[in-house]
Amino acid sequence: MAQNESEARHTVIIVGVTDVAARLNVARALSQVAKNQTSEQIIKRLDALPWTLTRSATTRRASRLVKMLEPLGAEMKTIPPLADPDSYLRPDTEILPGAELLSQSQMMSATQFIPPPTAAEFAQAQRSRDPSGTPPPITPDETAPAPVEDAASVSRRAPEAFQEDDFPGGPGVGFAIEPLSLSEMLDRSFQICRTWFWKLFLILAIPWLVTAALAAPLAGLFVFFFGTAAFSGPGLPHGPGSVVPIVLGSILILIAVVVILALMYISQGAIIYAVSSVYMGREVDIKESYLFVFKILVKFVLTSILFLVVCFGLVLLPFFGTMLLYGIFSLFTSGWWSAVFWPFLFILPFYAFPKLLLFDRVVIIENIAYMGALHRSWNLVSGKAEGSWPRSYWMKLVVLLHLFIFILVGVSFLFHGVGLLMSYPFSGSLQIVGGILNQIVSTIGSTITSMFASVALVVFYYDVRNRKEGFDLRMLAGMHDRL
Amino acid sequence: MRSSFAHGGLSSDHSITRNEPVKKDPEIIVVETPDHFQLELKLAGIGTRCVAFLIDRCIQWGLMLGLILFLIVPVLLFRDLFSPGLLKTELSKLFGQWVIAVAILVYGIITIGYFILFEYFWSGSTPGKVNQGIRVVRKDGRPVTIVDSVVRNVLRFVDLLADIYPFGLVFMFIDSKNRRLGDLAAGTYVVFDREARKPDIQRVLNTGASANKELQGTVAGMSHDDYRLVSMFLSRRGSMDTDYRHDLARKLHERIFRKPLSANIPVSKIEKALQNVAAYYREKTRVV
């Protein structure tokens, strides 16, 4: 022990650098081994040489530091052990003890240095890295020290479980699953929308494209059989013969509405599946997303209808409540005194609606349907998180929805404006063309905003699960099956 | 391989890179400083910028409200000095249009001047940006000049059309570097501006002396991923649902200690064991 301590007292100093290029090289080298020195600090310290790198290096580490820096143009000075008996007590830059751990992580109260690898170690590392023998380019990541674990750093780091090489879709696919702040959730949503814009857009646009594809030939057939009177002029022809197109048209419209609604549900489910796939580190596959939703379509549609019924009930509840309260108050005093309690009743739907909003994510991602999905959504959006405002999950979702409305208004405003401008040149008999153009542009705008809303809610859903259930930790630990 | 930022990498968000080609990360920009150093900066996301803008907007509305109150209160206090007829006729004839002009000017100063002044004097930050930890920098990574700030903020009128940021949003979405029109014109970026974390040596606990053989053996067999997992669990367990927390604690314990856990061991004991493991690992590796 005493031997080790006496060895650990070499002082290594940079006394000079040969030229500007050398200064740059030395700074680069130091930036890779120094932990708590920013680039600016390193440059400043190189500008104000001499710089005592360490006062407690072992002979081996001191010589490795010198061997690393001298070829780069640094003029090094090493003071042997016990040259200054008290110097090792001074808090200054140090080389970490425990060489076997240094390549993994290091963090101390002063600058730490990873001992530069020996030629043999370097060659061995290269071989283990690349069996073909081709040395890969060294990025800062490979030499960077291990991260410091705290809440702030955790929130900005990609877990190992989602290294890019693991993603079947190739590099760049997938995001770190981790607890996010409100603004980070929005960032992540925009990032997902941007990265997979066309695929996600197409998923939501398919119902409209199908509708257009069906409507155009049907309208053509309609005109072919019954003439253009149905679309222009005084309207549908009167008389006994006019009943056929009316009935046929009504049936077609009914079928179209059902088809569109079904497609809308499927596309909503498909985009949830697609975004979840992205989150799980896979590529977006439109066909796979649609096929997945087809399998649980009945369950999904029925749960959606149940959600609508519950929402309708929540809206009606205050009205019945006010009438009931009015009646009760009328028994004792004026019924209008019950008005004091009315606002509380009308708050109820606003409180309950966000709590049920994650039901469709629950159906698609967790395969829980009907009341179970609503109950699960309610549970997910209840409670409080740690961290910055808003802490309540409900409040976080409400703020997110309001931010989304702000974004929605901006995007809709722009697309409607563009649509109006495009339809402006068309007048007279071509007015219908302008109207169609306006409608197309507006639909594109609303599709983009609904895409963003879907993505943002999936991001929120995973955030809640990460915080409340440690979903990301389970993924990291390999305890959780992927979607 | 992702960028150093994504992995935590160096302690600062701004780190020097080597000259070797690095895979392009859309969220990271590399700027070259005047002394030919390459500086990595993480771009602020659209959501972060939106939130920062809304915070600034709230402050601006507060300022405007304060100004209006400042002007109205004296009139209300001293309304007896003015006859209503005089106020309604003579003053409005004299100053009516000027008042509107001055109001527009003040609105412009508050909405645009606010950003220009703060960005210039606060090295590219405004209160909203400070709250979100972002700031504006030039393409070379240096703080914005007054000219840059004026250019990017005057064009805010275009981005901010009808006060709902339609063009700004669309431009930021289209541009891979999240720049709105003003940023493109002024040649600026909005980047995260995190302070380099200072290591907290207090968190390095002295458990080494009391560590038993089993703990030493367990820690010796731990990978850094294991440590991260345990560390993240310990830092976030407070906000987890009880059932999930207990289940995760048990599974982590089994993973770290590599042996099945009896069902009757209380969770508090399991978490204490995980705490000890994390603390001892920190001490052994000097990770804080």
E strand spans, A80-213: none
**Paired residues of A14 in beta bridges:** A51, A76
Say how far apart CA A197 and CA A193 lie, in whole Å.
5
Instruction: Say how far apart CA B236 and CA A469 lie, in whole Å.
Output: 10
Helix (H) or strand (E) holding A77: strand A74-79
> Among A152-156, A217-221, B140-144, where is mean pLDDT lowest?
A152-156
Q: How near does any CA of chain B get to the CA of A145, in Å?
A: 6
Nearest CA in chain B to A20: B35
- Run of H or E residues at B39: strand B38-42
B234 has which bridge partners?
none
> How crowded is residue A108: how many other Cβ atoms within 10 Å of its Cβ?
20
> CA of A435, closest CA in chain B: separation in Å?
23
How many C-beta atoms lie closer than 10 Å to residue A305's C-beta? 11
φ and ψ at B64, to 5 degrees? -65, -40
pLDDT in tens, B58-73: 999 998 899 888 888 8
Cβ-contact A242, A236 below 8 angstroms: yes
B16 vs A contacts (CB less than 8 Å): 27-28, 31, 39, 42, 140
Q: Which of residues 423-482 of A touch B (CB under 8 A)?
A: 467-470, 473-474, 476-477, 479
Q: Considering CB atoms only, which of B167, B248, B288 is closest to A470?
A: B248
Helix axes A243-279, A431-469, angle to 10 degrees: 40
Q: Give me the pLDDT at residue A378, please.
A: 94
> Which of B36, B177, B190 lies closest to B115, judged by CA?
B190
- Band (pLDDT 50/70/90 cuts) for residue A115 is very low
Residues 6+ apart with CB under 8 A from A460: A185, A358, A396, A397, A400
Residue with the larger pLDDT of the pair A408 and A463: A463
Above 50 in pLDDT, residue A382? yes
A99 to chain B, any CB pair closer than 8 A? The answer is no
- Residue B95 is predicted with a pLDDT of 64
Q: Is A14 near chain B, with CB under 8 Å?
A: no
- Residue of B6, B39, B44 with shortest CB distance to A157: B6
Q: What is the pLDDT of residues A277-305, one digit of tens each?
A: 888 778 888 999 999 998 999 999 999 99
Tokens in use for A54? Answer: 């360490």
- With tokens 């001298």, the residue in question is A70
- The pLDDT value recorded for residue B83 is 60
Q: A145 to chain B: nearest residue by CA? A: B9
- A190 contacts in chain B (CB < 8 Å): 45-47, 173
- B-facing residues of A in 392-411 (CB < 8 A) are 403, 406-407, 409-411
**Residue among B3, B15, B21 minimizing CB distance to A31:** B15
> Cβ neighbours of residue B282 under 8 Å, at least 6 residues apart?
B203, B204, B205, B227, B288
Q: If contacts are CB pairs under 8 Å, which of residues 192-211 in chain A contact chain B?
A: 193-194
Three-class DSSP category at A137? coil
Tens digit of each residue's pLDDT (9 = 90 or more) over A303-356: 999 999 999 999 998 889 888 988 888 888 887 888 888 888 888 889 999 999
Q: How confident is the model at residue A1 (pLDDT cuts 50, 70, 90)?
A: very low
Contact assessment for residue A175 and residue A191, using Cβ atoms and an 8 Å cutoff? yes
Residue with the larger pLDDT of the pair B259 and A8: B259
Q: Taking chain B (288 residues) in consecutive chunks of 10 residues, what is each chunk's mean pLDDT?
A: 31 36 64 75 89 90 88 74 61 68 82 89 90 90 89 82 75 88 91 59 45 77 84 88 89 85 84 88 69
| pLDDT, position A307 | 94
**Are B235 and A149 within 8 A, CB to CB?**
yes
Element at B189 (helix H, strand E)? strand B188-192
pLDDT band for position A230 (cuts 50, 70, 90): low
Residue A468 scores a pLDDT above 70: yes
Chain A within 8 Å of B158 (Cβ-Cβ)? no
Mean pLDDT of chain A: 73
A38 to chain B, minimum CA–CA distance in Å? 6
- Which ranges in chain B belong to alpha helices (H)? 46-77, 84-86, 92-108, 114-121, 127-132, 146-154, 156-159, 166-174, 181-186, 213-220, 224-236, 242-257, 267-285
* Contact residues, B window 64-103, toward A, CB-based 8 Å cutoff: none
Instruction: Using an 8 Å CB-CB cutoff, list chain B residues near A185.
Output: 47
CA distance A405 to chain B (A): 10
Query: Does B195 touch chain A if contact means CB atoms closer than 8 Å?
Result: no
What would the pLDDT profile of B40-99 be if each residue is shown by its tens digit? 888 999 889 988 988 998 999 998 899 888 888 877 777 666 665 655 666 666 666 777
- pLDDT of B21 reads 39
Residue A448 CB neighbour total at 10 angstroms = 22
Task: Determine the pLDDT at residue A339.
Answer: 85
Pairing of strands B134-138, B28-32: unpaired
pLDDT of A162-195, one tens digit each? 333 333 333 334 566 778 888 888 899 998 999 8
In chain A, the percentage of residues whose pLDDT exceeds 70 is 72
